């Protein structure tokens, strides 16, 4: 059997080890928030926003933001059908109703015209998830949000560093959230971050993230309201600070890998990989190959071919509407069509040219069959 090829794994250098060792050795007592504050400050600066709150996960950051905005029972929240469950679970936990809409064929993100058709008197927010590094059409979504007085939220967990007209994903809406899970562009093991330019929203999220204890509350063990416990540890933040210092290096490597796949597969018009439209920058978190309907390449054929070569490739997200907790059958959508004929390709920092060629050769062989 060939050596296994993982689909993602983080790049850890001496810098990460040094910061984490420092945090675990000295980051206690009066220093117990130093790396957290540094990560929040540096991340906000990198993204070009005013405020950031480090959290225990992206799911937690989204839960906090939606709760702070008062999303709850009776509210509808629009989200693309092709997504991971994390982007919608907090909506349901808050008692609001998710409304799933179809994706665009080229970006695999929210179709703005489908969004507009789904707006009702109860719609409160649109969650724009930038899928696999690709960007949602933020200017169209912003127009809709303004026209119908809706909140616009970005789940940018998969698009750290992606840009549209020089603006970073996560910085173009009421608030943005990111994940630092071990599979993401930069990692803190588990972890996430909330970002916004809105001072009031920032203060409310900060309070909610710490069991409702307001910043500056002098009274001990005194929560001002019922909140959540979604804080990041100083040790995780130390890892995050090191990764953020290396963010350009990490993203450049991710882009190189995506570019290499595109080059090696360029003679197959039946295959499309993550797009990078003009005026945008794709940070290439997850190279994804979508096969045309005419190619007759299916998810099952792809999974079988990759696993027999000991390569960990992952399926495209199932439509949320089809998952057992939602169960809204509709098999005509783009979300349903694409997930049947797509695969996520390995793309970790240290993967070699030989590894990339091995991945490509699996696809080449399938195309011949
Ligand atoms: C990974 C991911 C999440 C969940 O992140 P956690 O940190 O595991 O909570 C949420 N949204 C998107 C788009 C993701 O890719």
* Other CB atoms within 10 A of residue 3 CB: 9
48 HSE (CA, 13 A, CB side): 13
Beta bridge partners of 152: 126
Q: For ligand 1, what atom is nearest to the CA of residue 183?
A: 1
* Other CB atoms within 10 A of residue 295 CB: 16
53 Cβ contact list (under 8 Å, min separation 6): 40, 61, 64, 193, 194, 195, 202, 205, 206, 209
Query: 28 CA to middle of ligand 1, Å?
Result: 29
Beta bridge partners of 52: 195
Phi-psi region of 74 (alpha: psi -120 to 50; beta: other; left: phi over 0): left
pTM of this prediction?
0.97
Q: How far apart are CA 50 and CA 213, in angstroms?
A: 22
Instruction: Note the residue count of the chain.
Output: 369
DSSP per position, 246-305: THHHHHHHHHHHHHHHHHHTTT-TTEE-----TTEE---SS-EEEE-GGGT--HHHHHHH
Q: Which residues of 139-162 are buried (b: 16+ CB within 10 A; e: fewer)?
A: eebbebbeeeebbbbbbbbbbbbb
**Cβ atoms of residues 55 and 61 within 8 Å:** yes
Euclidean distance between the first and the last CA atom of the chain, given in angstroms as a whole number: 22
Q: For ligand 1, what atom is nearest to the CA of residue 60?
A: 9
List the domain boundaries for the chain: 14-101+108-245, 248-368
Q: How far apart are CA 351 and CA 257, in angstroms?
A: 8
pLDDT tens for each residue of the chain, 369 residues long: 689 999 999 999 999 999 999 999 999 999 999 999 999 999 999 999 999 999 999 999 999 999 999 999 999 999 999 999 999 999 999 999 999 999 999 999 999 999 999 999 999 999 999 999 999 999 999 999 999 999 999 999 999 999 999 999 999 999 999 999 999 999 999 999 999 999 999 999 999 999 999 998 999 999 999 999 999 999 999 999 999 999 999 999 999 999 999 999 999 999 999 999 999 999 999 999 999 999 999 999 999 999 999 999 999 999 999 999 998 877 679 999 999 999 999 999 999 999 999 999 999 999 998
User: Residues with beta carbon inside 6 Å of ligand 1?
Assistant: 57-59, 84, 86-87, 129, 155, 157-158, 179, 181, 192
Walk across the sheet containing 192-196 and list its strands: 51-55, 192-196, 175-179, 151-155, 123-129, 76-80, 97-101
Which CATH number applies to 248-368: 1.10.357.10, 3.30.950.10, 3.90.1150.10, 3.40.1280.10? 3.90.1150.10
Q: For ligand 1, what atom is nearest to the CA of residue 179?
A: 7
Q: How far apart are CA 210 and CA 213, in angstroms?
A: 6
Nearest CA to ligand 1 atom 13: 157
Q: Which CATH number applies to 14-101+108-245?
A: 3.40.640.10
Q: Which residue do the tokens 């993967």 mark?
A: 351
**Cβ atoms of residues 177 and 58 within 8 Å:** yes
Task: State how far Cα 307 lies from the chain centre.
Answer: 25
Q: Is 275 exposed, middle or buried (0-12, 13-18, 19+ CB in 10 A)?
A: middle
Query: 308 CA to middle of ligand 1, Å?
Result: 29
């Amino acid at each position: 059997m060939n050596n296994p090829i993982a689909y993602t794994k983080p790049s850890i250098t001496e810098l990460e080890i040094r910061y984490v060792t420092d945090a675990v050795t000295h980051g206690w007592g009066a220093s117990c928030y130093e790396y957290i504050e540094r990560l929040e400050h540096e991340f906000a600066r990198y993204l070009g926003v005013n405020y950031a709150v480090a959290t225990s996960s992206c799911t937690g950051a989204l839960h906090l933001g939606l709760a702070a905005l008062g999303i709850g029972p009776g509210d509808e929240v629009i989200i693309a059908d092709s997504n991971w469950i994390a982007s919608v679970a907090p909506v349901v936990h808050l008692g609001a109703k998710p409304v799933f809409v179809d994706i665009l064929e080229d970006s695999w993100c929210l179709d703005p015209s489908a969004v507009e058709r789904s707006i009702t008197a109860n719609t409160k927010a649109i969650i724009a998830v930038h899928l696999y590094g690709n960007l949602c059409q933020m200017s169209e979504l912003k127009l809709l949000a303004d026209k119908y007085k809706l909140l616009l939220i970005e789940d940018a967990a998969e698009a750290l560093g992606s840009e549209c007209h020089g603006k970073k994903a996560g910085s173009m809406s009421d608030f943005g959230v990111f994940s630092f899970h071990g599979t993401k562009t930069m990692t803190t093991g588990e972890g996430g971050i909330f970002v916004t330019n809105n001072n009031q929203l920032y203060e409310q999220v900060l309070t909610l993230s710490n069991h409702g204890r307001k910043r500056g509350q002098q009274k001990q063990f005194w929560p001002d309201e019922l909140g959540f416990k979604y804080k990041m540890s100083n040790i995780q933040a130390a890892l995050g600070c090191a990764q953020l210092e290396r963010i350009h290096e990490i993203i450049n490597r991710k882009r190189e890998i995506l570019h290499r796949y595109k080059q090696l597969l360029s003679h197959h018009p039946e295959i499309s990989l993550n797009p990078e439209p003009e005026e945008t920058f794709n940070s290439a978190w997850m190279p994804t190959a979508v096969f045309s309907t005419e190619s007759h390449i299916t998810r099952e054929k792809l999974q079988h071919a990759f696993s027999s070569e000991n390569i960990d490739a992952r399926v495209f997200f199932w439509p949320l509407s089809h998952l057992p907790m939602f169960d809204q059958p509709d098999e005509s959508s783009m979300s349903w069509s694409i997930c049947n004929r797509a695969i996520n390709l390995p793309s970790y920092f240290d993967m070699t040219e030989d590894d990339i060629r091995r991945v490509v050769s699996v696809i080449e062989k399938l195309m011949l069959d």
